[in-house]
């Protein structure tokens, strides 16, 4: 059985309705004077690869439906944080949102498999999983809760960066204190990789490495460059131990009211936007890598097999249902 919980009602809906920000009567496109505007919540800036992929999706949707539908994307948490945005989608106050995978785990714990340590070998493996049909049944499983997952976007791979010398093997992790997100799973993952995970807020990381409280941290190249953490931890090693998923969700009632041809077009273009987002994210990562390299950072490729092997017991403890094991096996089967 899936665990299905409703998110708490938020006063944000009333506030936004009062402000006239939310669309009403969506689905009654025959009455509309122009395109049906699909309100879309996004928590990051318009420079983010995911935002740009949504823009591309909107342009293609408008063209393919003869101007019938158009996304109106609100970046920078204008419509609230991701939890609020998901609740707005559920209620039908808005039509679309990009939300972090853990929020959808509240409705079906099997989504946790998508963020397990070392489930993907590399970005190409994750791309193959996200652009294929492996996750279709999982994505449809939230029906009945007011929303459906249309597709998944990558939020990059998290890798290790330290001072001293680059990490190449689990032995190199011995004695290393590495900042992780405030998550028990992340702490356990650092343990299985050979180091010690130290939960800490992002704002403290730079000074903690500088002062010797930490030996390094783990994140993607964009965060590494943006926060100038290469200044204190210049050795970036591609351990790619966790590859994060963000999910594009749509209001269930809105989807049901679309005519069959429009819905098929909408779903097809939503899925195709994933490949666009991967390309854009890869470009952003390369730009961040170049920025850090110019400032003296080094980037080292790593054989992840020894790390994967050491983390197998942790993977097994995280797979608690037959459905989770089935999803895990299907994802692993797509590894090259």
Domain-located, residue 26: no
Interval 299-328 mean pLDDT: 96
* Distance between CA atoms of residues 155 and 245, nearest Å: 6
Strand partners of residue 151: 248
Number of helices (H), then strands (E), in the chain: 13, 9
Instruction: Please give the share of the chain, as a percent, with pLDDT higher than 90.
Output: 85
Note the pLDDT of residue 14: 45
Domain-located, residue 41: yes
Note the pLDDT of residue 62: 97
Between helices 184-193 and 305-318, what is the axis angle to 10°? 140
**In this predicted model, what pLDDT tens digit does every residue of 282-291 receive, in sequence order?**
999 999 999 9
User: Is it the case that residue 5 has pLDDT exceeding 50?
Assistant: no
Which band of pLDDT confidence, cut at 50, 70 and 90, is reported for residue 244?
confident
The residue with tokens 């999910």 is: 247
Which band of pLDDT confidence, cut at 50, 70 and 90, is reported for residue 336?
confident
Strand partners of residue 160: 218, 237
Domain of 137, in residue numbers: 36-328
With residue 305 as reference, give the H or E element that holds it: helix 305-318
Mean pLDDT, the chain, whole residue set: 91
Which band of pLDDT confidence, cut at 50, 70 and 90, is reported for residue 182?
confident
User: Is it the case that residue 138 has pLDDT exceeding 60?
Assistant: yes
Structure tokens given for 233 = 């931890």
Domain-located, residue 177: yes
Q: Tell me, what CATH number does 116's domain have?
A: 3.40.190.170
Note the pLDDT of residue 93: 98
Write down the pTM of the prediction: 0.86
Interval 124-145 mean pLDDT: 97
Note the pLDDT of residue 30: 42
**In this predicted model, what pLDDT tens digit does every residue of 83-111 receive, in sequence order?**
999 999 999 999 999 999 989 999 999 99
Note the pLDDT of residue 1: 43
Which band of pLDDT confidence, cut at 50, 70 and 90, is reported for residue 9?
very low
Domain-located, residue 19: no
Q: Taking phi first (over 0 means left), then psi (-120 to 50 degrees means alpha), and beta for anything else, what does residue 97 get?
A: beta
Note the pLDDT of residue 183: 85
Question: Among the residues of 65-167, which ranges form H helices?
Answer: 82-91, 101-105, 123-131, 136-140
* Least confident range of 17-26, 62-71, 184-193, 235-244: 17-26
Interval 246-269 mean pLDDT: 97
Structure tokens given for 302 = 């790593």
Q: How many domains is the chain partitioned into structurally?
A: 1
Domain-located, residue 74: yes
Contacts of 3 (CB under 8 A, 6+ apart): 106, 107, 108, 109
282-310 b/e with 16+ CB inside 10 Å = b? bebbeebbebbeeeebebbebebeebbeb
**Cβ-contact 152, 271 below 8 angstroms:** no
* Distance between CA atoms of residues 169 and 156, nearest Å: 22
Q: Give the three-class secondary structure for 271.
A: helix
Domain-located, residue 91: yes
**In this predicted model, what pLDDT tens digit does every residue of 61-90 receive, in sequence order?**
999 999 999 999 999 999 999 999 999 999
User: Is it the case that residue 161 has pLDDT exceeding 50?
Assistant: yes
Interval 289-314 mean pLDDT: 97
DSSP for 148-196, please give it.
Answer: EEEEEEEEEEEEEEESSS---SGGGGTT-EEEE-S-HHHHHHHHHHTSE
Q: Which of 133, 42, 71, 169 is nearest to 333 (CA)?
A: 133
Domain-located, residue 152: yes
User: Is it the case that residue 25 has pLDDT exceeding 90?
Assistant: no
**Cβ-contact 180, 199 below 8 angstroms:** yes
* Distance between CA atoms of residues 296 and 234, nearest Å: 7
Domain-located, residue 3: no
User: Is it the case that residue 4 has pLDDT exceeding 50?
Assistant: no
Burial label, 134 (beta-carbon count in 10 A; 0-12, 13-18, 19+): middle
Which band of pLDDT confidence, cut at 50, 70 and 90, is reported for residue 21?
low
């Amino acid at each position: 059985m899936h665990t299905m919980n409703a998110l708490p009602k938020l006063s944000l809906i009333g506030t936004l309705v009062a402000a006239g920000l939310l669309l009403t009567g969506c689905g009654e496109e025959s009455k509309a004077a122009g395109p049906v505007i699909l309100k879309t919540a996004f928590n990051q800036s318009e420079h983010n690869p995911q935002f740009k992929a949504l823009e591309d999706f909107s342009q293609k949707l408008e063209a393919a439906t003869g101007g019938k539908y158009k996304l109106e994307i609100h970046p920078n948490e204008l419509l609230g944080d991701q939890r609020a945005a998901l609740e707005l989608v559920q209620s039908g106050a808005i039509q679309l949102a990009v939300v972090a995978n853990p929020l959808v785990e509240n409705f079906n714990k099997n989504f946790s498999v998508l963020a397990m340590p070392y489930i993907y070998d590399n970005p190409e493996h994750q791309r193959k999983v996200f652009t294929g049909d492996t996750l279709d049944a999982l994505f449809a499983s939230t029906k009945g809760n007011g929303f459906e997952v249309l597709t998944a976007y990558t939020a990059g791979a998290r890798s290790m960066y330290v001072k001293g010398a680059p990490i190449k093997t689990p032995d190199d992790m011995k004695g290393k204190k590495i900042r992780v997100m405030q998550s028990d799973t992340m702490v356990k993952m650092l343990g299985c990789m050979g180091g010690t995970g130290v939960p800490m807020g992002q704002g403290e990381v730079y000074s903690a490495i500088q002062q010797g409280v930490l030996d390094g941290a783990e994140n993607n190249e964009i965060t590494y460059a943006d926060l100038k953490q290469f200044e204190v931890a210049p050795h970036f090693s591609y351990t790619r131990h966790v590859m994060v998923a963000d999910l594009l969700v749509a209001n269930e009632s809105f989807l049901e009211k679309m005519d069959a041809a429009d819905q098929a077009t909408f779903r097809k273009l939503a899925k195709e936007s994933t490949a666009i987002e991967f390309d854009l994210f890869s470009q952003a990562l390369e730009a961040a890598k170049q920025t850090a390299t110019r400032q003296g950072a080094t980037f080292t490729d790593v054989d992840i097999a020894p790390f994967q092997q050491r983390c197998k017991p942790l993977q097994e403890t995280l797979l608690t249902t037959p459905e989770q094991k089935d999803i895990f096996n299907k994802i692993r089967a797509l590894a090259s």
